[in-house]
Amino acid sequence: MMPWHSPETDAILESMPRKQKRQKLIYNIAENDAEFCIGCIMDGKIIRHGAYAAWINMLQRCYGESYRSARKQYLQVSLDPTWHKFSAFYAWWKPRYRTGWHLDKDLLIPGNQVYGPSTCVYIPKELNNFTVGRDCKRGDLPIGVSWDKQHGKYMSRANDSKGKYLFLGLYDDPMEAHEAWFFKKLEIALEYKGLCDSIHPDLYRGVQRKLLFIHREQLAA
């Protein structure tokens, strides 16, 4: 049974003083120094505090050998020592997390591999999906490009701010199709500026840099 949480269950757990503190370090490096109960069974369901669940997931990405070996994208990921203590992560998490939001480590600093208080930000799912660079099932083609067998050309598409695909045209050159994707994504990103500015002053520029980072990766491939 997978643990779950909600704002209501988080509040309940925070009201429950922790009876016994765990002495053993997690992954031999991280300390659960929470003052409140981080989990319990409620109405037959396993409940885990949202901050603790996020912290454990982050530790797994940084130190879980089997997890990292099965997911090569995390082999270079590390954790700022500040967050080796749960209490430090919780103090950062509390004013920033919103239900359904995702912890992101490379929007403020494209290419960043370190989870930490100065590099991470919580963002809505739709913004996360917009910036991950997975538009179109493309195989070996550049991002935003797929082969249109019917017309014998490269098709460019980009997902908009609502997650719908926009057709951007057919091209003879796959990189021209990708450039159409890139410039359209920059245009759509403007729709997120207000949201980004409300979350972090550097987030909108980070979104632009992330798109440019993806674009440059494609040019160098």
pLDDT digits (tens, 9 = 90+) for 18-31: 987 767 899 999 99
CA–CA dist 15, 9 (Å, integer)? 10
Burial of 173 (0-12, 13-18, 19+ CB in 10 A): exposed
* 3 band by pLDDT with thresholds 50, 70 and 90: low
In this structure, the answer to whether residues 85 and 138 fall within a common structural domain is no
pTM: 0.86
Q: Read off the pLDDT of residues 127-172 as tens digits, 9 standing for 90 and up.
A: 988 887 665 555 789 999 999 999 999 999 998 877 788 999 999 9
Helices 50-63, 86-93: crossing angle, 10 deg rounding: 120
Which of 48, 77, 95 is the endpoint of a domain?
95
CA–CA dist 193, 207 (Å, integer)? 9
CA–CA dist 167, 39 (Å, integer)? 47
In this structure, the answer to whether residues 78 and 151 fall within a common structural domain is no
CA distances from 221 to 90, 144, 147, 175, 217 (A): 39, 14, 18, 11, 6
Considering its fold, how many domains does the chain have in total?
A: 2
The pairing of strands 121-123 and 102-104 is: antiparallel
Q: What is the DSSP-derived secondary structure letter of residue 118?
A: T
In this structure, the answer to whether residues 89 and 132 fall within a common structural domain is no
Which of 37, 72, 95 is the endpoint of a domain?
95
Q: What is the DSSP-derived secondary structure letter of residue 155?
A: E
- Residue ranges of alpha helices (H) inside 137-202 are 174-189, 193-199
In this structure, the answer to whether residues 132 and 213 fall within a common structural domain is yes
Helix (H, G, I), strand (E, B) or coil at 115: strand
**What is the per-residue pLDDT for 129?**
86
Residue type, 41: I
Q: Which residue has the higher pLDDT, 132 or 109?
A: 109
The yes-or-no verdict on residue 1 having pLDDT over 50 is: no
Kindly give, in sequence order, each residue whose CB lies less than 8 Å from that of residue 27, ignoring residues fewer than 6 positions away: 59, 62, 63, 64
Residue-by-residue DSSP string for 39-96:
EEEETTEEEE-HHHHHHHHHHHHHH-HHHHHH-GGGTT-EE-GGGGBHHHHHHHHTTT
In this structure, the answer to whether residues 140 and 215 fall within a common structural domain is yes
| Average pLDDT score over residue span 63-90 | 93
Which of 41, 70, 95 is the endpoint of a domain?
95
Structural domain harbouring 14: 7-95
Please choose, from the candidates 171, 167, 169, 178, the residue with its C-alpha nearest in 3D space to the C-alpha of residue 214: 178
